[in-house]
Every structure is written in C-alpha cells, then in structure tokens.
Amino acid sequence: MGRRRQSAPRRGSLAFRPRKRAERLVPRVRSWPIVNFPQPKLLGFLAYKVGMTHVLMIDDRPNRPTSGKEIAVPVTILEAAPIIPVAIRTYKLVPGYGYLTLTEVWTNTPEELEIWRKVKTLKVENTETKLKQLLNHIDEIARVSVIIATQPKLIGGLSKKKPDLLEIAIGGGNSIQEQLDYAIKILGKPLHVREVFEEGQFVDVIGVTKGKGFQGVIKRFGVKELPRWHKHRKGSRRIGARSPGIGTLSEVPQAGQMGFHRRTEYNKRILRISDNGLEITPAGGFPHYGIVRSTYIMLHGSVQGPPKRPIVLRHPIRPPTWTPPGSPTITYISLESKIAR
C-alpha cells in the first residue's frame, strides 16, 4: 500500500472569517475615504438592487486590445430615489481611543416619509437651538456625518413603507466649518444621487449577499466527497474524526451558515445615471422586482445580493490608477425578457 497523503490545499479563504450572518440588512460603513473635493459632499448613497442585463458600449479603457471597439458587458441596475438627511451627527477625536460621538441634531421630517415606523421613540425639539449649540463647539468637532432616510414609496419594486436609515460621512471642503454648513443646508431636503456621484466614476459597493442557510462542507467549502464505491457507514458528504485530544483547528472546513454575509466589492464603474427607468426595463419587468419608476444607476458587472436588497455605494477608498475619461458611450441596451421560459 502506498503512503497516505498527509496534506491538502486549503479550502476556503481565511479572509472572510467568521462566516456568520450579517448583523443588519443595511450594512454599516466602517471606514470612509479621504477626499480632496473643492466643495463638501456626501461620501455615499443608498440604493436598491433591481437586476441584471447587458449592454453594448465603446471600450474607453486605455491599453486594452478592445480599446475604441464595441464590446458587450454585463451590467447591474440599482434604483436610487432621492434620500432625505434627517439628522446631523458630529464626532470628536480622543487621543489613543478614536472617534466618539459629540452630539446629534434631528429635524422634523415630512409626514409621507413616516420616519416613526423606523424610530418609534423619536422626539424632535428645538432644532434651531441645538444647531446654535453645535456651532459653539466647532473647535471640538473632528468629523461630520448625516443620518439619511430612504423613500421606499418612490421605489418601483418595493412594497414596504418603512424607510431605511444610514449614517454617511461628509468629505471635501477646506474646513470642518464648511462641512457643517453643508450638513445644515441639506438637512431635511431631498438629495439626488447626481449630487453625490457622476457618470463614469468608480464606486465601492457594500451589501449583504444572498442567504443560503446552514450548509455542509461539500457545498460550503468545496471539499471532495468520499468515493462512492467505498462502504460509508456514516455517509460520504462529511468530515471524519480528527486527532483526539487536541480538538479541531479553526482552519478545518466545517458545516455552518453560508451566505447572508456582509461583503464589499471595490471599484465598480458607474456607466449611466438616468431618471427614465423605462429605457432599461426589459419586457415583462425585472424578475422578482418589476418596473423601475425613479432614478436608476447602471453599474458595470455584478452586485451581491438578491433583488430589492439595500446596497450602499461609497466613493472608492482605494481607486484604480487610471482615471475614466467620463461617461462611456452606450450603443445598445438589452430589453429582452429576463423571465425564464
């Protein structure tokens, strides 16, 4: 008999441990890029995934074999209705600890937003007085953010009324004073996605992947199944015993939760931003979504998650080395039905 093999390639990346369920459906953004915009602006936006299609466009990437030629690319459609900043949150920097919340200022929101569905204990009092107190502590502020609320009633494929809330940092400008003035200016007013992003630029996509439930090692890690010609007293789709006394190492593939993980995809390019959703809606509508009724964003490539999943777009934290020349030329958009026959 030959010598039994004592090693095998690693199954699964260690970069995604622990593989557990995401804490929330709308992911919290842990870090924001350092930007040098001349004017302050939000560093992110919240949209909802619609579905995928494909387009024909002129390849404007430099040093490519297809540069200047027409190519077919897969695209993902996101629906991005205007968001409403409902609160300002400021932070102070504590040496050796990090950012700590300094204060929050909430404003009255329109009745049709129904913010009470999300924040049931919210009481807005003396907004103007709190803003004046906030300006008096301008020297302590190290970062300015706003809490935005979505308008799900304007989204074509959603049936819910409860808005989603997300904290988005403000970047750019020459000082904290400019960022704070900008936050006060947009407080309580609808904000369009064109005020945050532009066509042709790169963005980071943060979202929660599709959930697949509790799965075994065969599907979860791609471990080879035991040969079927062998007698299996306890099954072929399992991992046998490990060395007794020392337990099982954490790197060993095990059954557990698969999917519904928070993931970030870097440098997805925005191909188009438009208010005409019918020009990209296929025959019969997008599967499990329907018709795009408000502003949409067309991204190059795929995006994690199923239809209707909230997706956070962020200015790139590690942008590529080349700068896009602007909005690409799209010559054809597929409107064929996406419903399986």
Domain boundaries, the chain: 15-42+55-80+198-222+253-341, 83-191
- What's the pLDDT tens digit per position in 134-165? 888 888 999 999 999 999 999 988 989 999 99
Q: Which of 139, 275, 283, 263 is nearest to 211 (CA)?
A: 263
Q: The domain 15-42+55-80+198-222+253-341: what is its CATH number? A: 2.40.30.10
* 178 sits in which H/E element: helix 176-186
CB of 157 within 8 A of CB of 307?
yes
φ, ψ (nearest 5 deg) of residue 117: -65, -25
pLDDT at 136: 83
pLDDT for res 229: 66
| Ranges under pLDDT 70 in the chain | 1-4, 229-232, 240-246, 341
pLDDT, tens digit, 9 for 90 and up, residues 244-284: 656 777 888 889 999 999 999 999 999 999 999 999 999 99
Prediction pTM value: 0.92
Please, what sign has the CA dihedral across residues 21, 220, 76, 145?
positive
DSSP-based three-state secondary structure for 238: coil
Question: What's the topology of domain 83-191?
Answer: Ribosomal Protein L3; Chain: B; domain 2, (3.30.1430)
Residues in CB range of 41: below 8 A, 6 or more apart: 170, 171, 172, 182, 195, 196
